[in-house]
Structure 1
Amino acid sequence: MTSKLRETGGEVREEAAASWAAVVATARRSVADGLVVGTSGNVSARVGDLVLVTPSGVPYDRLTPDDITGVDLTGRQVLGTLVPTSELPMHLAVYRTTDARAIVHTHAVHATAVSTLVPELPLVHYMAAALGGPVRVAPYATYGTDELAEHMLRALVDRSGCLLQNHGTLTYGATLDQAYDRTAQLEWMCRLWLTASSVPGLTPSLLTEAQIAEVGERLKGYGQRR
């Protein structure tokens, strides 16, 4: 167990250590899957009032259990010595205003391309329902700023993901797996729309919001039941 968690209770210490390992694994997965390049993008998870977040400018394959980086909901660093990601304002804004337990931010190519073309991802596939409906594009603002966090929050109203204009994506969920799956689905839908809309002389058929809402209801019962 990392020495930087000794000051916390045993149960919280174990949960934080496990969550940190999952944060690092998810960050590495985003690189392996081509959703980010180098140290771009970031990942976080919430454990109580503690937010574990990838540090700024550190290659994910170099992170170890002792590199755990954590802040409270005000942004005050309470774990580790590495500087937290510059996108910390976005992560904290989501945790303060939603029930999110995990966040994934990427610079995925197709999603970023779409963010430069339209104010909202066209409803080209029913999996938009998995993110709450039509995915909006948050207006551009400089990375790491409160202004960007504010734009993002408006785009996230009743949604679990959004595009960031000329920047990338942000999705959240109850778990890191769910947040990551939403990121991957969003990138896939953006790639699908770009592919379909590039065919000369043809326009992709789109779904209606009513059709997306119907899928949203069906997804509530999707998957295995224990």
Structure 2
Amino acid sequence: MLLEPERRDVCLTARSVAASAGAAPGETGTVSVRRGDLVVLTPSGVALDQLQPADCPVMSLDDRVLEGRREPAAEATLHMAVHRQAADHDRDATAVIGAATVDTVAVSSVLDELPPVHHRAASLGGAIAVTPYTTYGTGDIADHAVKALKGRDAALLADHGGVALGRDLAHALENLRLLDWLCATYLRAAQIGRPRVLTEDELAEIRHRDTYGWAGPDLF
């Protein structure tokens, strides 16, 4: 079976997405990983927590389905566009995960941008763009996602949820969970008052600090 280890890893990651707190039930979410010019994706017609490796289609970057007993998920259009962009620009992102959680959908249905209210936002690129609303599975939403992910490891898709990139599936899942946590934190803060937002200078200082270990730049 073509890319069997990657298909197995996609299934395991999909189950983790389905088990996440606040995740929408059923097929609401898509997981993909690229190896060279080939991409493994979750299929349509199967709940994320019931996937088997043979279900997952393998596609080439020119959108041809090479193997798999089921059709790609509708969001394959978005995932393939992101993978092509990463491959064309030699970006180290090889995994993409899209999911709808209560908090990512809530924020994406109200805000035009998720502001950085915690220093961990710096690791995703800072403020998180929210794309214009577009029907899922279309070329338009794929184009919006590619634009929103420029220089970022996560984006919010208006009224759909979130999408995250990673150097592998584990990293993409970590980034997706961080995006969800940042959304939840913002929503909690907004219940109290106007959230304090980190400035670009403060984010730059955080990125500088992150280049050092536990000692930091000024221990001695």
The equivalences for 1:88-127 within 5 A come to 88-98=76-86, 99=91, 100-127=93-120
Q: Which residue of 2 aligns with 1:45?
A: 33
Deviation at 1:206, TM superposition (A): 1.6
The residue matched to 1:28 in structure 2 has which SS?
helix
- From 172, 178, 182, the equivalent of 1:185 is 178
Q: Which residue of 1 aligns with 2:208?
A: 217
Residue by residue, what CA displacement relative to the aligned partner does 1:27-51 show, whole Å, maximum 9, x if unpaired? 0001111333211111000011110
Structure 1 vs Structure 2: percent identity of aligned residues?
38
Task: Name segments (4+ residues, structure 1) moved above 6 Å.
Answer: none
Q: Is residue 124–residue 193 contact of structure 1 (8 Å, CA) maintained in 2?
A: yes
Deviation at 1:20, TM superposition (A): 1.1
Alpha-carbon distance in structure 1 between the residues aligned to 2:163 and 2:32? 11
The equivalences for 1:155-170 within 5 A come to 155-170=148-163
Q: Which residue of 2 aligns with 1:145?
A: 138
The residue matched to 1:44 in structure 2 has which SS?
strand
Q: Which residue of 2 aligns with 1:24?
A: 11
After superposition, the Cα gap between the structure-2 partners of 1:92 and 1:127, relative to the gap in structure 1 and judged at 3 Å, is same
Q: Where in structure 2 are there 5+ consecutive unaligned residues?
A: 215-220
Moved more, 62-71 or 92-101: 62-71
Residue by residue, what CA displacement relative to the aligned partner does 1:51-79 show, whole Å, maximum 9, x if unpaired? 00000120233322332311100111001
Deviation at 1:220, TM superposition (A): 4.2
Alpha-carbon distance in structure 2 between the residues aligned to 1:149 and 1:195? 30
Please state if 1:82 is matched with 2:75. Answer: no
The residue matched to 2:201 in structure 1 has which SS?
helix
The residue matched to 1:172 in structure 2 has which SS?
strand
Q: CA RMSD in A?
A: 1.5
Q: Where in structure 1 are there 5+ consecutive unaligned residues?
A: 6-15
Deviation at 1:165, TM superposition (A): 0.4
Alpha-carbon distance in structure 2 between the residues aligned to 1:55 and 1:108? 19
Residue by residue, what CA displacement relative to the aligned partner does 1:149-205 show, whole Å, maximum 9, x if unpaired? 111111112111100001111111111011011100011011011011112xx3222
Alpha-carbon distance in structure 1 between the residues aligned to 2:122 and 2:45? 34
Moved more, 139-148 or 30-39: 30-39
Give the alignment's TM-score, normalised by structure 1.
Answer: 0.87
